[in-house]
Structure 1
Amino acid sequence: MDKQLLIAFNQKFQDFLATYAQLEKNQHVIKGAIPLNTAEVHTLVSIAQNQPINLVGLSKVRGISRSAVTQMVSRLESKGLLIKVPNESNRQEMLLSLTRAGQKIYQVHQKQHAYLEKKVMAVLQAYPQDFLANLEAMMADLEKIWKGLPWLSR
Structure 2
Amino acid sequence: MNKEEELMYNFRDLFNKIAYLNKFEMEEALKGLTSTEVHCIEAIEENLDPNVRKLAEMLYMTRGAISKLTKRLMKKELIESYRKEDNKKEIYFKLTAAGQKIYHTHEQLHAKFQKRDEKVFEEMDDTQYQLMMDFINQYRNHLDQEINKQNRTVN
Question: TM-score, length-normalised on structure 2?
Answer: 0.65
1:29 is matched with which residue?
Answer: 27
Displacement after TM superposition at 1:89 (Å): 1.5
Counterpart residue type for residue 101 of structure 1: A
Per-residue CA deviations over 1:4-25 (Å, capped at 9, x if unaligned) read xxxxxxxxxx997764342364
CA distance in 2, matches of 1:116, 1:55: 30
1:106 is matched with which residue?
Answer: 103
Structure showing the higher helix proportion among its residues: 2
Aligned length: 125
CA distance in 1, matches of 2:124, 2:88: 57
Counterpart residue type for residue 85 of structure 1: Y
2:4 is matched with which residue?
Answer: none
Distance 1:96 1:41, change over 3 A: same
Counterpart residue type for residue 41 of structure 2: L
- 1:47 aligned counterpart, secondary structure: helix
CA distance in 2, matches of 1:23, 1:101: 26
Aligned pair partner of 2:90 in 90, 93, 101: 93
Distance 1:63 1:107, change over 3 A: same
- 1:75 aligned counterpart, secondary structure: helix
Counterpart residue type for residue 81 of structure 2: K
Displacement after TM superposition at 1:30 (Å): 5.0
Uncovered stretches (5+) of structure 1, i.e. residues with no partner: 1-13, 141-154
- 1:52 aligned counterpart, secondary structure: coil
Uncovered stretches (5+) of structure 2, i.e. residues with no partner: 1-11, 137-155
Give the number of the structure with larger relative contact order, counting CA–CA contacts within 8 Å between residues 6 or more apart: 2
Residue 53 of structure 1 contacts residue 95 of structure 1 at CA under 8 Å; is this kept in 2?
Answer: yes
Per-residue CA deviations over 1:124-152 (Å, capped at 9, x if unaligned) read 43x4649x78xx7xxx9xxxxxxxxxxxx
Alignment of 1:20-59 (within 5 A): 20-23=18-21, 25-26=23-24, 28-31=26-29, 34-59=31-56
Distance 1:82 1:18, change over 3 A: closer
Counterpart residue type for residue 89 of structure 1: D
Distance 1:19 1:34, change over 3 A: closer
Question: TM-score, length-normalised on structure 1?
Answer: 0.65
CA distance in 1, matches of 2:79, 2:53: 16
Displacement after TM superposition at 1:28 (Å): 3.0
Structure 1 vs Structure 2 CA RMSD: 3.3
Residue 83 of structure 2 contacts residue 92 of structure 2 at CA under 8 Å; is this kept in 1?
Answer: yes
